[in-house]
């Protein structure tokens, strides 16, 4: 990603359109935001739009605005996102989901630098830098007849490719440390160290949801971990179990036993993590915690004593 950041500094002050291509969750909006805030338009608005969540009937009004009475429910004039971004940058994410009927109008806006609101006849000048994001190859969509070739060339002036996280594993430790510091700071706590097992598991995990999934995993740990060190029992189960199913045995956190993996210790860590989480969200109420874990209260009490977690619970009212 260092090469991407260096390239962003090069193109930041340019007025050329930028096309960012990468899988969902790779950080396309983050890069678009960085381009905006590194350039001469940084004091003007940055407006991000996800085209994937807008229906075909809604996207035109959302992007270009509408006049009063243009359709049922249009009770007053409303500017579109292009007008809202005046002087700044508009980021159109999921441009590959824009229907053909809107592609024509979008091409006209980019060429003429004017918008015409739905139900209106007046051409409104707009001064915006256009950055688009796509999770699919627009060139391939053009070949399949699903995307206008002329619009593709208008958007693809400065292309940026964001590789998935699994192809840049060297970034995972840096991103993990960044997100952990951020979320533990939000919680008002100092950031605990990550055990070697957790770090290795994070690096080996394929992260199908890319940076967004990694961010969510770190947030979950920050909300549920009460340990002085983040251990494997604090990890989301999907990452933990994926790591343990790999052909290479997971690293051992106990250097005194470098050739063995204690299943009992691993299960105890997971059990301790889940009980700690249940007691935390139930504010120490053991009856509610037992309901969350779908076990009897007496069973929970036995396991709390066995794991030495008595300090976390309180007497039920």
Looking up residue 237, the CATH number of its domain turns out to be: 1.10.8.60
My answer on whether 154 and 67 are in the same domain is: yes
My answer on whether 109 and 33 are in the same domain is: yes
Per-residue confidence (pLDDT) for residue 68, from 0 to 100: 83
My answer on whether 14 and 158 are in the same domain is: yes
My answer on whether 106 and 48 are in the same domain is: yes
73: domain CATH number?
3.40.50.300
Q: Are 195 and 251 contacting, i.e. CB atoms less than 8 angstroms apart? A: no
Per-residue confidence (pLDDT) for residue 260, from 0 to 100: 57
Per-residue confidence (pLDDT) for residue 247, from 0 to 100: 41
Per-residue confidence (pLDDT) for residue 163, from 0 to 100: 94
Q: How far apart are CA 156 and CA 223, in angstroms?
A: 41
- Alpha-carbon separation of residue 247 from 152, 220, 242, 244 (angstroms): 43, 27, 10, 8
Query: In this structure, is the dihedral angle defined by the CA atoms of residues 115, 117, 119 and 120, taken in order, positive or negative?
Result: negative
User: Where a domain ends, among 128, 163, 198?
Assistant: 163
User: Where a domain ends, among 135, 163, 191?
Assistant: 163
Per-residue confidence (pLDDT) for residue 309, from 0 to 100: 82
Per-residue confidence (pLDDT) for residue 250, from 0 to 100: 45
My answer on whether 142 and 217 are in the same domain is: no
What's the total number of domains in the chain?
3
My answer on whether 89 and 136 are in the same domain is: yes
My answer on whether 159 and 293 are in the same domain is: no
Per-residue confidence (pLDDT) for residue 249, from 0 to 100: 44
> Which structural domain, as residue segments, surrounds residue 289?
262-317
pTM of the full structure = 0.73
Low-confidence ranges of the chain (pLDDT < 70): 241, 243-262, 313-317
């Amino acid at each position: 990603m260092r090469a991407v950041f260096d390239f962003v500094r090069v193109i930041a002050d340019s007025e050329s359109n930028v096309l960012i291509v990468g899988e969902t969750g790779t950080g396309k909006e983050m890069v678009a935001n960085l381009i905006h805030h590194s350039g001469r338009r940084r004091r003007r608005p940055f407006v991000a739009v996800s085209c994937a969540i807008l229906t075909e009937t809604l996207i035109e009004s959302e992007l270009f605005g509408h006049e009063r009475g243009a359709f049922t429910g249009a009770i007053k004039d409303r500017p579109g996102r292009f007008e809202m971004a005046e002087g700044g940058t508009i980021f159109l994410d999921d441009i590959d989901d824009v229907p053909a009927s809107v592609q024509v109008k979008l091409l006209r806006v980019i060429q003429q630098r004017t918008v015409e609101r739905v139900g209106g006849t007046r051409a409104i000048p707009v001064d915006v830098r256009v950055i688009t994001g796509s999770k699919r190859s627009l060139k391939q969509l053009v070949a399949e007849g699903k995307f206008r070739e002329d619009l593709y060339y208008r958007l693809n002036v400065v292309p940026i490719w964001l590789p998935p996280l699994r192809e840049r594993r060297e970034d995972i430790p840096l991103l993990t440390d960044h997100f952990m510091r951020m979320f533990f700071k939000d919680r008002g706590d100092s950031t605990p160290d990550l055990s070697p097992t957790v770090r290795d598991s994070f690096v080996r995990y394929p992260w199908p949801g890319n940076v967004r999934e990694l961010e969510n995993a770190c947030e979950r740990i920050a909300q549920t971990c009460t340990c002085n060190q983040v251990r494997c029992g604090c990890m989301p189960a999907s990452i933990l179990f994926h790591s343990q199913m790999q052909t290479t045995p997971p690293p051992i956190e106990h250097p005194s036993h470098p050739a063995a993996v204690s299943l009992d210790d691993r299960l105890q860590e997971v059990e301790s993590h889940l009980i700690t989480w249940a007691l935390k969200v139930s504010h120490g109420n053991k009856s509610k915690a037992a309901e969350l874990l779908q076990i009897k209260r007496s069973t929970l009490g036995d396991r709390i004593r066995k794991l030495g977690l008595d300090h976390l619970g309180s007497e039920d009212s």
